[in-house]
Each structure stands twice: as structure tokens, then as C-alpha cells.
Structure 1
Amino acid sequence: MTDPGPPPSKPKRRRIRRRLRRIGRVRRPRVRGPSFNRLIPNILTMLGLCAGLSGMRFALEQHFSQAAAALLIAACIDGLDGRIARLLHGTSRFGAEFDSLSDFVCFGVAPSFLLFLWSLEHAGRYAFVPCVMFTVCMALRLARFNASLDDEDKPEYSHSFFTGVPAPAGAGVALFPVFLGLEARKLGLPGLEAFAHHPLTSVIALVITAGLLVSTLPVWSFKNFKVPAIYVLPVMLSTGAYAAVLVADPWGALAAAGIIYLAMLPFSRRSFQRLKHAAEAMSETVEDDTDDTNHLPSTAGAPQEAP
């Protein structure tokens, strides 16, 4: 018998095992493309678009409560996808365009479609005109918003305001007759339900909302809204109370929210005008100080007096 020799040392055995693992390892191809985190905002936008389209389908089946709930879900998703995109560093030009197209379908087409089936379908051949007017104004409002994103000359105080009513809020205000009618049906008030179903009520809601969408009215953007410390607790308590009412009586809470939102618009304009005047006064003060400095007599080259 031949002598097998001494066993290999520990470092040598480790090297042998390492080589064997390399031989048996399958090389995986490198996947090129965005990470899943960057796809989450676009997936949310797609879900919001599906919710808006589902609302149109429910309206065709005369299930107006489900249709309104689907549009409410689309509005909640629209409020989340942009913020999630910024948190995950997943903002992109594609995402912005996709979000704008989804907003047009969910908040520009679906509400007018729902109101047409709610009360305007049998109101005559001109009943479709307010629906077209609302959808066109929503498209103009979204186009103006997209164009303003590249405007670098906007004053600093205007970043806390929208120009015109934003798309989700406009859709909510336009759907006020639906919310009111569903609440009246729940409470058993046939007179109020008939008023909500009257074609003139839907026409007024569509026309007023269309005008607010394309107006130059400054509207609070609550993204940058700062709450004074003394009002933090009342705001939190009021929000909690409204959430409880929304769960217990959703249609009444949504109808009341539309009225409250319209009542806030004059205060929003007054706040914008106050900030604008303050900024203009500060600019005039800076210009006056600059002019006074420029008009001071120059002492360069003047003979110095002996002490």
C-alpha cells in the first residue's frame, strides 16, 4: 500500500471548498431596469385609474353609491402617489404624465359621466353641454398645471397656492348632487332627493365647478400649509371627529365637505392677497434702501484731513 500522505491543512481545505462552490455556482444574468420601489408610485396611479373606470361602470349599472365610492378611492390614491414617489425617490417625467392622464379620466370624464346618468340623460338634447364644458375645463386646468411646473419665475409666496380649484376637489364639488341625493335617500327625504335629482341642480354644479377649475382664483395647497402651534390640537380633534362622521355617514359628510370647501375659497384669496402685498412692500423697501445707497456721495479719492 502506498502512503496517502498527511491530510491537507485547514487553509488548503477551505480553498478547495471555495473552488468547488465556484464550479457549481450558476451565474445569474444581470437584470437591467428600475427597482421595484420606483414602480410603486406608477402602480398606485394605475390602481387609481382602474378605480375611476370602475366608477363609470357602476354608474352604467345605476349603482351610484359604488360609483361615488370608487371615485373617492381614486381621489385618495391621487393624494398618495406623488408623495410616495418623492419619498422613494421615484419621480420621473413618465410618472408625472401618467398621473395627469389618470387625473383627467378619474376627475374630468368620470364625474360628468356619472352626473349625466344621474339626472341629465333624459333632460333634453342640450343636457350634455354642461358635461362637455366640465370635461374641457378640467383638461385645460390640468394642462395649465403641467405647464406651470416649469415656471421658475413664480414668487415664493405662491408655492402654497393652486391657481384654480385642483382636480380632485373640483370632482368632489361637482358630485355634490350625488352625495346629497344619496344622503336624502338614506334619511328618507323624498323632497330633498327630488331636488338632488333635478337636472338643473346637476347643471349648476357642473357649470360652477368648471368656472372654478379654469379661474385664476388662488386656492390653498395644504401640502405646504403651516398650522400655528395653538391650533394644532383643535385641528387634530376636528380631523378625528370628521373621520368618525365620514365612517358613520359618508354621503352627508362628503356633501358637507363640498360646502365647507367652497366657503373657504374667499379666505384663501384673502390670504394670498395679504402675502402678495407683504412681499411687494418688502420689495419696495429693499429697492428704496438700494437707491439710497447708490445716491450716497462717494469719498473715494478725496483728500484726507489731518487728525
Structure 2
Amino acid sequence: MKHKKPRLTYVLPNLFTAASIFTGIVSLTQAANGHFESAAWLIFLSLVFDGLDGRVARLTQTCSRFGLEFDSLADIVAFGVAPAMLLYFQIGQHYGRFGILVSALFVVFGAIRLARFNVTDNCNDPGVFIGLPIPTAAVFVAGWSLLLEAHSLREYGAPLLAATLLIAFLMVSNIRYPSFKRIDLDRPLLLKTLILLTFVASILYLYPSEGLGLLILSYILYGPIRMGKLFLTKRKDGKREA
């Protein structure tokens, strides 16, 4: 006879999801009041809550359809609307309609990305994401927002607007990105990974905003670079066969 799980166990993962939404809203209000650094760090805090809700649900074996849908709604607030408004209040409002367009497309394409993920998740390889995940797009905006604030470069925000527009299109692209859901490391690779992570942590300690921005940018560029290499390899193989 199966024992029913306590109702509180089902509530716990959703509390983290609700915390992600709440933090996203607070980030939005901070951005509206001109506190851009606080708004950016709150987006990172939302990312922590977003990571915890899924892990808690799996650990307690309380995954549910409601939780999945709730998580998607939380993501569009915390990783769609919040970073889009941070971008607009910090930079976009100085560029007229273009600033509005970039912020709007970021949210719209983020919503499309989430909807596509929900309907195709069971069909995809768990080791990859199809299209750039919306949390990654959000931390790109937040990370580079911190970089602009740290070096007082807000007046040079046009490149960030253009980059964010490209990020929005990457979310709805078919470019594949590693998900890190399944990582099988043998001993030699484990040692190399440990050394790499130690090096990355050291860079982040010395240069937090710069290191974070470059780390996120590296992950984002990985997808197009990998796709380009595969395309060139197939082209070379095709010429050899001909």
C-alpha cells in the first residue's frame, strides 16, 4: 500500500517558484526607480530560486503538471519581463522606439521559447536545449547591465541593445546548447573540469562583473560557433564525396 506524500511536500517546490516571481517583480520595481545594480542582482537571485524548485520537486518526487506550468509562468516574469524592463529603464528609453522594440521582442520571443520547450521537451535529447534558454538570456542582460554600471558606460548602451536583439532571436532558433542535465565525467576529465572551475571561480573573484559577463557570452557564442563548425565539416565531407 502506497503512502500519500504530505501536502506540504507538494507546496514546497511551488514556494520556490513563487519566490522567483516575487524576486522578479522586486527587480522590476528597482529598475523603474533607477537602482539598476540591485535589479540585476535580483534577477540572479531569481535564477537561484528557479534552480531550486525543480531540484526540490525531483528530490521529493513531487513533479506535477501544475508545477511545470507554474514554473513557465514564473520564468516569463523573472527572466522575460524583469530583464526587459531593466534593459529599457537603463538604456532603451534613450533610444526611442528601438529601445521599446528590443525589450518587447525579448519578452515575446522568450514566451515563444518557453511554449516550444513545454510542447517538445519529451521529444528532445535531455543533454541539449533547442534554442538559447530564457534564463541564460536573462542573466546575459543582467550581467552586462552590471558591467555597464561598474564602468559607467551607460551612454554606450547601443551595442547591448543590438546584442540583446540577437539574443532574442537565438531563443527561438534551432541552435543547440548543452543543458548539463547529464554529465558523465571519467577521472581524467573530472580533474580537468575541477581545474577549469577553479580557474573560472578565481576570475570571478577578481573581476566579478567582467568575468560573469564573459562567462555568459562564452556560453551564448558556443552554440553558433558549434553550428558553424558542423556546417563546414559537412561541406568538406560533401566535396570529398563528390
TM-score (ref. length: structure 2): 0.85
TM superposition shift of 1:61: 1.6
CA–CA distance in structure 1, aligned partners of residues 226 and 180 of structure 2: 11
CA–CA distance in structure 2, aligned partners of residues 54 and 247 of structure 1: 26
**Aligned-partner residue type, residue 113 of structure 1:** M
| Residue 173 of structure 1: aligned partner | 140
- Given that residues 20 and 47 in structure 2 are in contact (C-alpha distance below 8 angstroms), is that contact kept between their aligned partners in structure 1? yes
TM superposition shift of 1:39: 1.5
Q: For each residue in 1:247-291, what CA deviation from the matched residue of structure 2 results, as whole angstroms up to 9, or x when unmatched?
A: 554312211112221332246548999xxxxxxxxxxxxxxxxxx
**Aligned-partner residue type, residue 79 of structure 2:** F
| Residue 179 of structure 2: aligned partner | 221
- Given that residues 45 and 99 in structure 1 are in contact (C-alpha distance below 8 angstroms), is that contact kept between their aligned partners in structure 2? yes
CA–CA distance in structure 2, aligned partners of residues 246 and 269 of structure 1: 28
| Residue 296 of structure 1: aligned partner | none
TM superposition shift of 1:53: 1.0
CA–CA distance in structure 2, aligned partners of residues 268 and 85 of structure 1: 33
Q: Which has the higher helix share?
A: 2
- Given that residues 92 and 98 in structure 2 are in contact (C-alpha distance below 8 angstroms), is that contact kept between their aligned partners in structure 1? no
Aligned residues: 228
TM superposition shift of 1:64: 1.1
| Residue 261 of structure 1: aligned partner | 219
- Given that residues 127 and 182 in structure 2 are in contact (C-alpha distance below 8 angstroms), is that contact kept between their aligned partners in structure 1? yes
Q: Does the alignment pair 1:205 with 2:163?
A: yes
CA–CA distance in structure 1, aligned partners of residues 164 and 86 of structure 2: 11
- Given that residues 179 and 254 in structure 1 are in contact (C-alpha distance below 8 angstroms), is that contact kept between their aligned partners in structure 2? no
Q: Does the alignment pair 1:233 with 2:194?
A: no
**Aligned-partner residue type, residue 91 of structure 1:** C
- Given that residues 91 and 99 in structure 2 are in contact (C-alpha distance below 8 angstroms), is that contact kept between their aligned partners in structure 1? no
CA–CA distance in structure 1, aligned partners of residues 228 and 189 of structure 2: 20
Q: Please tell me the root mean square deviation across aligned C-alpha atoms, in Å.
A: 2.4
CA–CA distance in structure 2, aligned partners of residues 48 and 167 of structure 1: 14
1:70 counterpart (38, 42, 46): 42
Q: Closer, same or farther in 2 for the Cα pair 1:270/1:80, shift >3 Å?
A: farther
**Aligned-partner residue type, residue 40 of structure 1:** L
TM superposition shift of 1:241: 3.8
CA–CA distance in structure 1, aligned partners of residues 37 and 207 of structure 2: 13
CA–CA distance in structure 2, aligned partners of residues 270 and 233 of structure 1: 29
| Residue 182 of structure 1: aligned partner | 149
CA–CA distance in structure 2, aligned partners of residues 161 and 268 of structure 1: 13
- Given that residues 133 and 207 in structure 1 are in contact (C-alpha distance below 8 angstroms), is that contact kept between their aligned partners in structure 2? yes
| Residue 90 of structure 1: aligned partner | 62
* Percent of matched pairs sharing the same residue: 31
**Higher mean C-alpha displacement, 167-176 vs 130-139:** 167-176
Q: Closer, same or farther in 2 for the Cα pair 1:244/1:42, shift >3 Å?
A: farther
TM superposition shift of 1:132: 0.8
Unaligned runs of 5+ in 1: 1-31, 186-192, 274-307
Greater Rg over alpha carbons, structure: 1
Unaligned runs of 5+ in 2: 232-242
- Given that residues 129 and 177 in structure 2 are in contact (C-alpha distance below 8 angstroms), is that contact kept between their aligned partners in structure 1? yes
Q: Does the alignment pair 1:160 with 2:106?
A: no
CA–CA distance in structure 2, aligned partners of residues 76 and 218 of structure 1: 23
CA–CA distance in structure 2, aligned partners of residues 227 and 260 of structure 1: 21
Q: Does the alignment pair 1:123 with 2:95?
A: yes
3-state SS, counterpart of residue 123 of structure 1 = helix
Q: For each residue in 1:283-305, what CA deviation from the matched residue of structure 2 results, as whole angstroms up to 9, or x when unmatched?
A: xxxxxxxxxxxxxxxxxxxxxxx
3-state SS, counterpart of residue 99 of structure 2 = coil
Q: Closer, same or farther in 2 for the Cα pair 1:63/1:37, shift >3 Å?
A: same
3-state SS, counterpart of residue 233 of structure 1 = helix
